[in-house]
A = this chain, B = another copy of it.
Amino acid sequence: MVRTHTHEISTTGQGDAHDVTGAVGRAVRESGIQAGIVTVFVVGSTASVTTIEFESGAIHDLNAVFEDLAPRDGEYQHHLRWGDDNGSSHVRAALLGPSVTIPFRDRELMLGQWQQIAVLEFDTRPRRREVVIQIIGE
């Protein structure tokens, strides 16, 4: 069985993070599927999904490492193409990736107690984001 949900969020721009664990857990419980995987996928090339202990310190620390790796005000060849200012966003999103896949059993996500599912905005402006929550199992 396959169930596909979309979940919309509004972000404030680079560094904003949203905890979608609750929405993903609900989608799994309401699917009627007992065991399987849920893929959480963010549409677009300037945002990412990962798992993290969702507290402001850890989110800050992760963004600080990305600022070191791919500084917002760095020089990017991507800027030359469209006059964009979001080369840092593309690099960060490609590095972290657009999705995570989480197994579940007995209709419960097999996450750790301090492990949440986070959508990270890397674009330099506020965005509406479509998050796909797709459940496959039996």
Contact = CB atoms under 8 A, between A and B. Distances in A.
Interface string A46-72: 000011110111101110010011100
Contacts of A98: 50-51, 100, 102, 115
Contacts of A105: 4
Interface string A98-112: 111111010000111
A32 interface: no
Dominant secondary structure at the A interface: mixed
B36 A2 contact: yes
Interface in A79-96: 79-81, 87, 90-91, 93-96
Nearest to A80: B57
B112 A44 contact: yes
A101 B41 contact: yes
Interface in A97-138: 97-103, 105, 110-112, 114-116, 118, 132, 134, 136-138
Interface of A: 1-2, 4, 35-37, 39, 41, 43-45, 50-53, 55-58, 60-62, 65, 68-70, 76-81, 87, 90-91, 93-103, 105, 110-112, 114-116, 118, 132, 134, 136-138
A76 to B, nearest CB: 5
